Amino acid sequence: MDLQELKSHRRGLMIILSSPSGAGKTTLTRQLLSENQKMTMSVSATTRKPRPGEIDGKDYFFVSKEEFSNMIDEDEFLEHAKVFDNYYGTPRGPVEEALSQGHDVIFDIDWQGAQQLTQAASDDLVKIFVLPPNMQELEKRLRSRAQDSDDVIARRMSKSEAEISHWAEYDYVIVNEDIDLAMAELSAVIIAERQKRKRQLWLGPFVKSLVQGG
């Protein structure tokens, strides 16, 4: 019996990472993806304009309001929400495909998306909230991106407090003061969640053959 082959028969996790903008979620996500081959990022559709350096199809699918509302009508979203003045949504197809192949999927979505996915797919979900060590650090990180105007940054800061108020709806909370420590904590959560009995579909056949002396 090939243990590695058996172990690959597992349910993929749906990992929601929410945080106020600037808490370090993007860095954490990139590192997770580079360390885990069987992990994919859900690419959302948005009506917001691309920031410099953002790539259509990689960072987001940048769509018009009309295209977005057609996608809603065609039931193409797992969840969708209005964040700031724009619409954001998670396309259903790629997520279902990745999960069926036993891949974990990371969602960079806000608390509204987390609530909607909880209703739709709670068994596969792991909800993680990333907090900044303090609000000054958050503002500093937002400013160092130098991509948004003062006005936008001020609005993002005030929205951050609203986002943070939903921290208790998450399974895990990581305070990102030190990126290496935060990464270690995040990896520990994911490793533990993968070990949950209900997610290891291969255990039944494995134990059966174990007791039969296979």
CA distance 92 to 57: 15
What angle do helix axes 150-164 and 135-145 make, rounded to 10 degrees? 140
Shortest Cβ distance from residue 116 to ligand 5GP (Å)? Answer: 7
Name which of 13 and 81 has its Cβ closer to ligand 5GP.
81
- Token readout for 41 is 């990022």
Contacts of 72 (CB under 8 A, 6+ apart): 80, 89
Minimum CB distance to ligand 5GP smaller for 13 or for 25: 25
Question: CB-wise, 77 or 185, nearer to ligand 5GP?
Answer: 77
In the bound state with ligand 5GP, the residue whose beta carbon lies nearer, of 39 and 116, is: 116
**Please, which residue, 19 or 185, has the CB nearer to ligand 5GP?**
19
Among 27, 31, 36, 112, binds ligand 5GP (CB under 6 A): 112
Q: How far apart are the C-alpha atoms of 112 and 90, rounded to whole Å?
A: 12
**Residue 176: CB minimum distance to ligand 5GP, A:** 15
- Candidates 24, 29, 88, 176; binder of ligand 5GP (CB under 6 A) is 88
Task: Look at phi and psi of residue 53 and say left if phi exceeds 0, alpha if psi is from -120 to 50, else beta.
Answer: left
Which has the closest alpha carbon to 43: 19, 27, 30, 60? 60
Q: How far is the CB of 50 from ligand 5GP (least distance, A)?
A: 10
> What residues line the site for ligand 5GP (CB under 6 A)?
21, 44, 48, 79, 81, 83, 88-90, 108-110, 112-113
